[in-house]
A and B are shown apart, each in its own frame.
Chain A
Amino acid sequence: MTAPPAELHLEGVGKTYGRHRALVSVTATFSPGRINTILGPNGAGKSTLLGILATLVRPTTGSIRWGDKPLGPTAAARAAVGYVGHDPGLYGDLGALDNLNLFAGLYGCDVDPQALLAQVGLSHVEPLAPVRTYSRGMQQRLALARALLHQPAILLFDEPSAALDPTGAAWLSAQLAAQRGAGRIVVVVTHDLDAVAPLTDHLTILRRGRLAHHAPVQTALTGTDLRRIYTETTGAST
């Protein structure tokens, strides 16, 4: 019998930088097969929270569990997490294949880089051309290929649509839906409410480092709905 997909559970997670409390006692659950959207004004702690989930930032307080295992800065935990940020996280002087081969080697994966490139719509690119010569949209596609190559159970997105054109943003929305369909825990931090609203299954709003809203979405949201909830919760305009 197959075990049910594991949830990601945060219990009293906090992060302090010097005297600044970036995150205060956050208790939250992110489920697989859901798009978990995190919103909040600048400085609300969204990126800190994502950094903690990515195992790049150590929480000052609290604990994180993925199923029955702690999620911390270990190789096993890192192998379970994929991350796409607003910067692509790639070596600009290397080509697409070299980048994918490098990261596949670091993750200890046997992958077909050409198949991955095809999966993200980059089968047409010159594989040896330096990534820095790619358009922003192409770099984000390759970043997603890099994040998916080890088949992570947890997929984190930090402002993934920033600086993407409408075509790129539409492609990204389709990819988010596809990753939800693959049963991954998808966590998205964004300010692009219109793009993320119809995809959101679970909404989290942070305000001054504290959890201000954390609830599943019952019916599909529109950008207007999401803006209203956001404004009511944070008191900030979008």
Chain B
Amino acid sequence: MPRPNGFVSTVLRIAAKDLRIEWRNREITTTMGFFAILMVLIFAFAFVNPAGDALAPEVTAGVLWVGLLFSGTIALARTFDRERDLEAVRALLLSPAPRAAIYLGKLVGVVFLMLIVETAVTLLSAVFFSAAIGRHAAWLAGFLALGTVGYAAVGTVVSGALLRSKSRDALIAALLFPLVTPLVMAGVRGTSMLLNPETPDPESIVFWTQFLVVVDAVFLLIGLWAFEPVISGE
């Protein structure tokens, strides 16, 4: 006889399912990783001068956030493709799992995949752009993690809404990027400050961190509220 299931355990089950699938075929991480490496190499070829001087922190910050944006789109599109294949999402929605738990489970899975690739992009940026990622490493990691959570919070809702749309891949970017503009602007600004070895400005960095926390909270609340109607198509 079924018994009530814990909310957190449901979230973890759904996230673990996405990560297990990815562990089996490594499709998303390979695609995202390939894209990220290519992106860093192209920017390195375009911006790095022969003397090997460190790149302006604004440029490195831009590269990191472009990587976050585009690799996140790949992760969102493919994880929801797996829900659509064989109509797995219908079975998921038929289960007693709360919709909020399904939303958070998908969110956690996407965030985890994005963080793997962001780690690679950040390390590559340090190598190719001589970015000073070690000066405020923990803060930088936290900052990117906040950006990733906010991006995935909106992206999970948008991807869920477009689950049955034929032109979903094109529409995800078209709908998602305008929505996350405040997040990206704050992220780029704060990251460039963290990467700037000459003008540490703790007050501004704290401001942009708080800004990201607030944006994340708003996006998460909207996501929790909007996911059920959009995923059920009603």
Q: Name A residues whose Cβ lies closer than 8 Å to a Cβ of B.
A: 54-58, 75-76, 78-79, 81, 83, 85, 87-94, 98, 102-103, 105-109, 130-132, 139, 146, 150-151
| 25 A-B residue pairs with CB within 8 Å | A56-B93, A56-B232, A57-B234, A76-B96, A78-B95, A85-B87, A88-B86, A89-B90, A89-B94, A90-B86, A90-B88, A91-B82, A92-B86, A93-B21, A93-B25, A93-B82, A94-B20, A102-B13, A105-B9, A105-B13, A106-B5, A108-B5, A108-B96, A109-B1, A150-B2
B9 proximity list for chain A (CB < 8 A):
105
Residue in chain A with minimal CB distance to B12: A105
Q: Mark B4-16, 1 if CB is under 8 A from A, else 0.
A: 1100011001000
B20 pairs with A98, CB closer than 8 A: yes
A71 to B126: give the CA distance in the assembly, Å. Answer: 57
Chain A residues lying within 8 Å of B234, measured Cβ to Cβ, are: 57-58
Known A92-B85, A93-B24, A98-B20: A107·B90 in contact at CB below 8 Å: no
Question: If A75-B98, A131-B86 touch, does A90 touch B91 (CB 8 Å cutoff)?
Answer: yes
Identify the B interface with A (CB < 8 A).
1-5, 9-10, 13, 17, 20-21, 24-25, 82, 85-88, 90-98, 232, 234
**Which of B2, B10, B25, B93 counts the most chain A CB atoms within 10 A?**
B2
Given that A79-B2, A91-B21, A91-B82 are contacting pairs, would A107 and B88 also be in contact in the complex, using a CB cutoff of 8 Å? no
**Chain B residues with CB under 8 A of A88:** 86-87
Q: How far is the CB of A234 from chain B (nearest CB, A)?
A: 27
Flag if B5 contacts A107 (CB, 8 Å): yes
